[in-house]
Amino acid sequence: MYAVSKIRVTTVFLLCISWCALHAQIVNIEEMRITGTNDSLRWYGALKGSFAMVKVKERTMVFHAESRVQYKHRRSVWLLLLNANFLNAGGRDFSNSAFAHLRYNYKLTKPLSLEVYTQQQTNRLLLIKNRTLFGTGLRQRFFLNYNTNSRLYLGTAWLYEQNYFTENYGSRHWHRWSNYVSVTLRKPKNGIVLQGTTYWQPAFADFKNYRFSSEWSLELPLGKHLRFSTDFAYSVDQGLPEAAPLETYNWQNGLVWRL
CATH number of the domain enclosing 241:
2.40.160.40
pLDDT in tens, 144-176: 998 888 999 999 999 999 999 998 899 999 999
pLDDT for position 104: 96
What are the residues facing 182 on neighbouring strands? 153, 197
Q: Is there a contact between 119 and 27 (Cβ–Cβ < 8 Å)?
A: yes
Q: Is there a contact between 85 and 64 (Cβ–Cβ < 8 Å)?
A: yes
Average pLDDT on 232-254 reads 93
**Which has more pLDDT, 35 or 200?**
200
Residue 38 pLDDT > 60, yes or no? no
**β-strands 171-187, 206-221: how paired?**
unpaired
What are the residues facing 179 on neighbouring strands? 156, 200
Residue 50 pLDDT > 80, yes or no? yes
pLDDT for position 46: 80
pLDDT for position 235: 95
pLDDT for position 92: 84
Lowest mean pLDDT across 25-39, 197-211, 224-238? 25-39
The whole model's pTM is what? 0.80
pLDDT for position 17: 35
pLDDT for position 31: 57
Average pLDDT, whole number, for the chain?
Answer: 85
pLDDT for position 95: 81
Give residue 6's pLDDT band: very low, low, confident or very high (50, 70, 90).
very low
Compute the distance between CA of residue 160 and CA of residue 13 in angstroms, rounded to an integer.
Answer: 38
Compute the distance between CA of residue 201 and CA of residue 115 in angstroms, rounded to an integer.
Answer: 16
pLDDT for position 19: 38
Q: Which of 7, 32, 78, 10 is nearest to 197 (CA)?
A: 32
pLDDT for position 26: 61
**Which has more pLDDT, 161 or 51?**
161
**Which has more pLDDT, 46 or 105?**
105
- The backbone torsions φ and ψ at residue 40, rounded to the nearest 5 degrees and listed phi first, read -75, -15
pLDDT for position 40: 56
Please state the domain count of the chain: 1
pLDDT in tens, 54-91: 888 888 999 989 898 999 988 999 999 999 999 988 88
Residue 28 pLDDT > 80, yes or no? no
What are the residues facing 43 on neighbouring strands? 2, 71
pLDDT in tens, 94-121: 788 999 999 999 999 989 999 999 999 9
Classify residue 32 by its DSSP letter.
H
Average pLDDT on 200-223 reads 95
Q: State percent of the chain over pLDDT 70.
A: 84
Compute the distance between CA of residue 249 and CA of residue 232 in angstroms, rounded to an integer.
Answer: 7
Domain that holds residue 113: 2-257
Average pLDDT on 207-222 reads 95
Longest dimension (CA), the chain: 60
